[in-house]
């Protein structure tokens, strides 16, 4: 088995696009750490109704493969520690959705 490190992680929500971040993270932590929103989570939830800070929150990760690795007939992707609903998209194709109760997921 080959382990690959996730090298680039970005976050987008509402008017905020492609903010570099590291995991673990939440929409609240990313936006407050950068001073883009201020206040308690309750304050920000109230603000968000008008400005949609947290609409369509997306964390995006990039996993890079060498040409030799990418040319394999099968690639199995094992993800762990996913605690929020997530869609797995690989090379532009959706491979499924992870619910928030799954801790380890395999994709073929």
d(CA 99, CA 6): 21
pLDDT over 70 (residue 103): no
List helix spans (H) across the chain. 27-33, 41-51, 67-70
The pTM assigned to this predicted structure is 0.65
d(CA 102, CA 82): 7
Q: Among 23-32, 34-43, 45-54, 58-67, which is the least confidently predicted range?
A: 45-54
Tokens 């609240």 locate to 28
DSSP one-letter code for 98: E
Give the count of beta carbons closer than 10 Å to the beta carbon of residue 62.
Answer: 9
pLDDT at 19: 92
- Tokens representing 89? 């998209």
d(CA 84, CA 25): 11
Average pLDDT, the chain: 77
pLDDT at 54: 64
pLDDT over 70 (residue 97): yes
Q: CA–CA distance from 46 to each of 2, 13, 37, 41 (Å)?
A: 45, 16, 12, 9
Q: Note the pLDDT tens digit of each residue in 45-88.
A: 777 666 665 667 788 887 778 888 878 877 777 776 666 677 77
Contact 38, 24 (CB under 8 A): no
């Amino acid at each position: 088995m080959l382990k690959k490190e996730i090298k680039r992680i970005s976050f987008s929500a509402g008017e905020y696009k492609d903010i570099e971040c590291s995991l673990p993270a939440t929409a609240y932590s990313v936006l407050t750490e950068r001073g883009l929103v201020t206040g308690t989570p309750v304050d920000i939830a109230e603000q968000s109704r008008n400005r949609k800070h947290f609409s369509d929150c997306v964390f995006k990760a990039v996993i890079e493969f060498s040409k030799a690795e990418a040319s394999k007939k099968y690639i199995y992707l094992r993800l762990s520690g996913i605690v929020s609903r997530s869609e797995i998209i690989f090379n532009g194709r959706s491979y499924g959705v992870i619910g928030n109760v799954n801790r380890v997921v395999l994709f073929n």
